[in-house]
Structure 1
Amino acid sequence: MSKLLHIKASVFGDNGQSNQLATRYIDQWQQKLLGNEVVVRDLVADAVPHLDGEVVGAFFTPEEQRSEQQNTIVAFSDTLIQEIRDADEIVLGLPLYNFGVPSQMKAYFDHLARAGVTFTYTDTGPVGLIDDKPVRVFATRGGLYKDTGMDHQVPFLKQFLGFIGLNNVEVIYAEGLSMDGVKEEALAKARGEVDQLISA
């Protein structure tokens, strides 16, 4: 049995276009691979705390010296990391907000980036400690940003995921969703690409 981790980041919940594209893929994935498991991590409905001194302090305190509160903080981060480790495939519904990833996803990433746990530094540079696996990203944008200097979302996403060991990243784009005469064609194209992923 395979396990898929679905990470949601749209403030519009299931009405968000990124979540709808991701759900379209997951529904077909489940039909094709009956009996498989989907784990959902909704970063809006169940927000991950942003970093502060207490959180960072907990991460850098040796286990035997942590307070009860620090143990709770680290245990939460460990849970998020274990979800990534346990998944055979990861699906991200990813809207573009103000040229970057949603702040909820940045907070999530900050809890995944743990030296000695998800990455380590070597003489030749950082090495990710998460076993590589497919990551499907459904990136939705109001304007046209792909391959321009204004897209700080996907380059950052790929850099971060690669930093922790996830290099097999495929992105399906739906752009121009706030532009007259573009939205429906863009969504139709993205849906077609979703269907091709399953039929491949």
Structure 2
Amino acid sequence: MNILRIDSSARHDGSISRKLLDDVAARLGGPVTTRDLATEPLPQITGTWMGANFTPEADRTDEQRAALAQSDALIAELKAADTILIGAPIYNFSIPAALKAWIDLVARAGVTFRYTENGPEGLLEGKRAIIAIASGGTEVGSEIDFASGYLRHVLGFIGITDVEFVAADRLMIDADASMSKAGDQIGALAA
């Protein structure tokens, strides 16, 4: 099993989402490719990137190919993985900007999804995603959680519909109970 790990917490020391991913990776075993979005920030998409993305591959200039190179590399990592681990702390009720930049670079029409007469179709089927969410006060699944539903939707949009969550939410309210619940969720994951 090839595992792709995406860390998006701006914190390294004391990061709960990173600790949860450590525990999940240990539970699953197997080789892990790690992409740390805090250590290696990704660029935002630009007009040049958009123009390159919507130019047929055979017609792209060298500049356009260069503009898409990072996106191509991220998608290759995603395609090579059987399981994707995503660390997603909740910042201001949603995901970190670093994780949104990764999503913008991997959600590409004709590459990871396509439009059909029946609507969009994800092209990365047969993969599993485990998302470790940490929050200070936002309860995962509540009406103020704009992270978990978005991540489930966007992963499904690119074809990854086997999505599980490990949540250490409301840490500022009862950290011990939250971490215990997350530990139980990790223990219940199929290896």
Q: Distance in 2 between matches of 1:14 and 1:4?
A: 23
Alignment of 1:85-164 (within 5 A): 85-164=79-158
Q: Does residue 184 of structure 2 align to residue 192 of structure 1?
A: yes
Q: Which residues of structure 2 form unaligned runs of 5+?
A: none
Verify the 8 A CA contact 2:141 2:148 in the aligned structure 1. Answer: no
Q: Which residues of structure 1 form unaligned runs of 5+?
A: 31-35
**1:88 aligned partner, one-letter code:** D
Q: Distance in 2 between matches of 1:118 and 1:24?
A: 29
Moved over 4 A (4+): none
State the SS of the aligned residue for 1:178: helix
Residue deviations 1:28-82 (CA, integer Å, cap 9, x gap)? 322xxxxx31100111111111111111112112233323232122121111111
Number of matched residues? 191
State the SS of the aligned residue for 1:13: coil
Relative to the length of structure 2, the TM-score reads 0.94
Alignment equivalent of 2:60, drawn from 42, 54, 66: 66
Relative to the length of structure 1, the TM-score reads 0.90
Percent same amino acid among aligned pairs?
Answer: 36
Aligned to 1:39: 33
State the SS of the aligned residue for 1:94: strand
**2:18 aligned partner, one-letter code:** N
CA RMSD, 1 decimal: 1.5
- Cα displacement (A) at 1:145: 2.4
